[in-house]
Amino acid sequence: MPYLVSFHLGWLIGSVLLGFCMGWISVVQRGNGTSKVTARWLAALAAALVAASFAHVVPGRFGYWLDLGLIMFACYLVGCTIGAWLRDRVVARSMRAG
């Protein structure tokens, strides 16, 4: 894990930034987003991929790509969370001020 992080640091920072932007937008975006059922399916898919990664069942280069994808995805989620939370604070403050 530390090796993967240090080797792909640039790409991971990119993922975090992408996530940050997406999170920032998501707070004020109108619309319904994904349905609960779809979200559950997506979560289950993610969990299955993480399990496959930890169990080392995917061989060779595909295994490496899976690990890389998951770690980028994790960074994206972290970026999204931070972005959404900060935007939420900003929105709340402006509403109080308004």
Partner 1 sequence: MQKLFRWASKWWPGLIPLAVMWGFAAWNNTLPVEADLSARSSAALKGTVLDKTRIAVDGRDVSLVADAFSEEGRRDAVTAVETVPGVRLVDDRTRLVPEAQPFVWNAERDVVRVTLSGSAPLPSIKGRLTEAARKEVGGAEVADQMGLARGAPPRFEAAAMLLLDQIGKLKDGKITITDTKVSLSGMARELGGREAIAAALKNLPEGFSVAANDVKAPPYIFQAYKDPVAATVTLTGYVPDNNVHAAIATSAARKFFTEKVVDNLKASLGAPGSFNTAVVAALGALSRLSTGTLVVSDREVKLSGDALYEGAANDIRAGLGKDFPKNWQYKPEITVKPAPGPVDGTVCQQLFTDLLAKGKIRFTPKRADIDPDSAAILDHLIETALRCPTVNIEVAGHTDADGEDGFNRALSEKRAQAVIDYLVKAGLPASRFTAVGHGSTQPVAGNDTDDGKAQNRRIEFLVR
- Interface ranges with partner 1 (CB under 8 A): 2-4, 7-8, 11, 14-15, 18-19, 21-23, 25-27, 29, 31-34, 39, 42, 56, 59-65, 67-69, 72-73, 76-77, 80-81, 84, 88
Q: How far is the CB of 96 from partner 1 (least distance, A)?
A: 17
Q: How far is the CB of 47 from partner 1 (least distance, A)?
A: 15
> In angstroms, what is the C-alpha Rg of the chain?
17
Q: How far is the CB of 48 from partner 1 (least distance, A)?
A: 16
Helix (H) or strand (E) holding 27: helix 9-28
Nearer Cβ to partner 1 (10/98): 10
Burial zone of 14 (CB within 10 Å; 0-12 exposed, 13-18 middle, 19+ buried): middle
- Cα gap 85→18, rounded to integer Å: 15
Q: Which amino acid is at 54?
A: F
The first and second tokens of residue 69, run together, are 């994808």
Nearer Cβ to partner 1 (70/98): 70
